[in-house]
């Protein structure tokens, strides 16, 4: 039937095509074939729609999961995309793609001020960290990861550890606040330095102790042996110090040792010269790159400094003031000689100074020179 009413009725009850009689078989087959193709394409389209919906669901769940991870992470996380020069292809800056709340807090900016913006190079330049920009470029170009510590004041935090890895044509970076750990490390280093200082310091006189003297002399001996330069040693003894203690008491003796030590320590001018308490009332001075004449000048200065202190010593047999006996030796270290030789020569000179009447400086033979304090 070919009335319009009949055709509409047929389509309303679910028909997809309408053939009127009389018909040709070829036409029927062609129309059926076309419908089968349409049905098959529709099934394929529905399957593709279902697959895409499934992918979208997975992507949505992934985004939700990623967002949850980013927002709940205790570390700062950001992703950067390289922005290249059109003419050379070189990276000129990075565009921020992703940041989490920790990064927002560190930078003290909200997400809208960061996402999609070219901020990195200017930010690094502003905070004197522009050298990091070249290192971030190297991550993208070479694929090698980067990590390190950086100082950046942000609220109560100032030290951060970062790890950056290549991500497409850009990089991802995680940032961790290590301020507390860094402060503990710095405090520990300072404590260790203080302990080392205390270990090498004489508690009473506040100059180097015998341990520091031994270590420094060994170090300088090796260096002077390599360089073939003269190394001088001065040994000093306070004259009749036992009698001073007996007369003025141990507290008076301690005060005397402190004043003498501080006066001796001020005479050598070079930071490489070492003044140490050798033991009891004895002191030692190590003079780098110094021959016997230079050592004599220092010894003379020490004698003058002690004389200017004018510390009374009623029981001394050489003066009514504190005086010193000084032994001096200088030599160029060699394979045939040793540290013990230098100490022995200085000690022999000190013994000779005492033997000759104290209150004087004597040089180790074969040097025939002496300084007699006035």
Active-site residue set: 281
Please give the Cα distance from 344 to 270 (Å, whole number).
25
Please give the Cα distance from 95 to 84 (Å, whole number).
10
Please give the Cα distance from 78 to 171 (Å, whole number).
9
Contacts 24+ apart (CB under 8 A), 345-352: 345/233, 346/233, 346/234, 346/235, 346/284, 347/235, 349/235, 350/235, 350/236, 350/237, 350/325, 350/326, 351/327, 352/327
Is the distance from CB of 102 to CB of 76 less than 8 angstroms?
yes
Please give the Cα distance from 76 to 176 (Å, whole number).
6
Query: Could you tell me the CA-to-CA distances from 245 to 67, 255, 280, 320 in Å, in that order?
Result: 79, 10, 12, 15
Beta strands in the chain (DSSP E): 76-84, 91-99, 146-154, 157-166, 170-177, 231-238, 274-279, 282-287, 324-331, 360-363, 370-372
């Amino acid at each position: 039937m070919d009335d319009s009413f009949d055709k509409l009725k047929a389509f309303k009850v679910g028909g997809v095509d309408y053939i009127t009689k009389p018909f040709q078989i070829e036409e029927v087959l062609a129309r059926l074939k076309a419908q089968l193709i349409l049905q098959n394409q529709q099934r394929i389209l529905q399957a593709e729609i279902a697959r895409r919906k499934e992918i979208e669901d997975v992507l949505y769940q992934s985004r939700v999961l990623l967002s949850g991870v980013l927002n709940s992470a205790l570390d700062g996380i950001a992703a950067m995309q390289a922005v290249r020069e059109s003419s050379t292809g070189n990276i000129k800056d990075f565009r921020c793609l992703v940041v989490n709340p920790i990064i927002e807090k560190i930078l003290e900016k909200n997400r809208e001020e960061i996402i999609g913006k070219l901020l990195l190079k200017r930010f690094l330049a502003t905070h004197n960290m522009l050298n990091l920009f070249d290192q971030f470029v190297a991550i993208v170009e070479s694929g090698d990861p980067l990590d390190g510590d950086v100082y950046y004041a942000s609220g109560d935090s100032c030290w951060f550890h970062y790890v950056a890895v290549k991500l497409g044509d850009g990089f991802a970076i995680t940032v961790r606040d290590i301020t507390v750990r860094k402060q503990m490390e710095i405090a520990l280093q300072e404590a260790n330095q203080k302990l080392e200082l205390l270990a090498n310091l004489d508690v009473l006189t506040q100059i180097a102790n015998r341990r520091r003297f031994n270590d420094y002399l060994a170090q300088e001996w090796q260096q002077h042996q390599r360089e073939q330069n003269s190394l001088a040693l001065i040994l000093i003894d306070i004259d009749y110090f036992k009698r001073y203690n007996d007369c003025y008491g141990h507290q008076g003796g301690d005060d005397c040792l402190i004043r003498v030590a501080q006066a001796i320590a001020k005479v050598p001018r070079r930071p490489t010269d070492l003044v140490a308490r050798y033991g009891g009332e004895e002191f030692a001075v190590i003079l780098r790159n110094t021959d016997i004449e230079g050592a004599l000048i220092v010894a003379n200065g020490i004698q003058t400094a002690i004389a200017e202190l004018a510390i009374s010593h009623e029981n001394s047999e050489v003066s009514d003031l504190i005086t010193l006996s000084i032994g001096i030796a200088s030599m160029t270290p060699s394979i045939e000689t040793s540290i013990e030789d230098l100490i022995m020569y200085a000690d022999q000179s000190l013994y000779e100074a005492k033997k000759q009447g104290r209150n004087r400086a004597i040089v180790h033979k074969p040097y025939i020179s002496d300084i007699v304090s006035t």
